[in-house]
Amino acid sequence: MAQDPILEVKGLKTYFFTRTGVVKAVDGVSFSLAQGETLGIVGESGCGKTITALSIMGLVPQPAGRIVGGKVLLEGEDLLQKNGPEMQRIRGRRICMILQDPMTSLNPLYTVGNQVIETLRSCGRPKKTGFRSRAIDLLQKVKIGAAENQLRAYPHQMSGGMRQRVVGAIAIAGEPRVLIADEATTSLDATIQFQYLLLLKELQRDWGLSIIFITHDFGIVAMMCNRVAVMYAGKIVESADVRDLFDHPSHPYTEALMKSVPNVDEDVDDLYSIDGQPPALDQLPKGCAFAPRCAYAFDRCFEEYPDQVEAGENHPVACWRV
């Protein structure tokens, strides 16, 4: 029997109500995440990846942002039905998020030790070993050397890679079941980025974490993810197992994204780029949002948004060509 997913997102809609109109940042997103699985979410900037994550966490910016529909089921419980104090008890303990820039996640006025221990206290852990000992243990788990000394350091005294490891230690302090990593390697150089990805995989193996990895980088997707969902203009346009998606990209947007990745074995004069710009989310076109940029678009694409159809096993695609 197949294991029930630990996280299910069903028809999630998050809109921003502004003076210029309604911005449909997330518009009917659905996916599931199994125990110990890594799901990648990819797409251009502004397609709704981060707002999807913030919606799951109950951290949509107020007052403009509002979740207007859908369900977010964490182990069967709908997080959208939880009030503020209830979500505060869930965040950190059962689900957590690593943000893109560690300098915006860490308070520059407090030491690393203060911030890790504060998280441990808020999660009610631990009672026996003591907060300081547990904080040292967490820093050691994320491969920070001389962990006891680093407790006294301030964020500005650490490198970007070290700060990101501290954020990772804070994220796992409450022993969550689900970890959302929002472009967590963007600020790191290539060597440190690789080390950090290996660290996340090790933590996943040791802790049994389920991970949602938001990224622009298909190399990271290939290394980290079991499945991948491609977002465009607030919707998931294609999702599949990683190998299936790389071998058989079925949506024109997915195909264009992959063409945009340079091939070091090819000698070309000009790198491929997708024509045009993503649409404004408060002025979405009538049909498929990608149609104005799509080389395969025909009349129906501009009039109706396509239903999702199966391009293969567990490979739904929203495109009239499939």
Which tens digit of pLDDT belongs to each residue from 119-150?
888 887 666 568 899 999 999 988 888 989 99
What is residue 38's predicted lDDT score, i.e. its pLDDT?
Answer: 96
In the numeric block, the tokens 């911030």 are attached to 115
Higher pLDDT, 317 or 98: 317
CATH number for the segment(s) 7-94+176-318: 3.40.50.300
What is residue 126's predicted lDDT score, i.e. its pLDDT?
Answer: 63
Residue 277, CA atoms < 13 Å, CB-side half-sphere: 5
Segment 31-37 shows an average pLDDT of 95
Name 63's Cβ contacts closer than 8 Å, sequence gap at least 6.
Answer: none
Q: Per-residue pLDDT for 51 more than 70?
A: yes
Return the domain boundaries, the chain. 7-94+176-318, 105-175
SS3 string, 46-86, reads CCCHHHHHHHHHCCCCCCCEEEEEEEEEECCEEHHHCCHHH
- Kindly report the CA angle at 25 between 21 and 31, in degrees rounded to 5? 150
Write the pLDDT tens digit of every residue in 166-222.
Answer: 998 898 888 899 999 998 887 777 777 888 888 889 889 888 899 999 998 888 899
Torsion of CA 230, 231, 237, 242, to 10 degrees: 10
What is residue 72's predicted lDDT score, i.e. its pLDDT?
Answer: 97
Lookup: tokens for 238: 């294609």
Name 118's Cβ contacts closer than 8 Å, sequence gap at least 6.
Answer: 110
Radius of gyration from C-alpha coordinates of the chain: 21
Per-residue pLDDT band at 1 (split at 50, 70, 90): very low
Cα–Cα distance measured from residue 245 to residue 281, given in angstroms and rounded to the nearest whole number: 26
Cα–Cα distance measured from residue 187 to residue 125, given in angstroms and rounded to the nearest whole number: 30
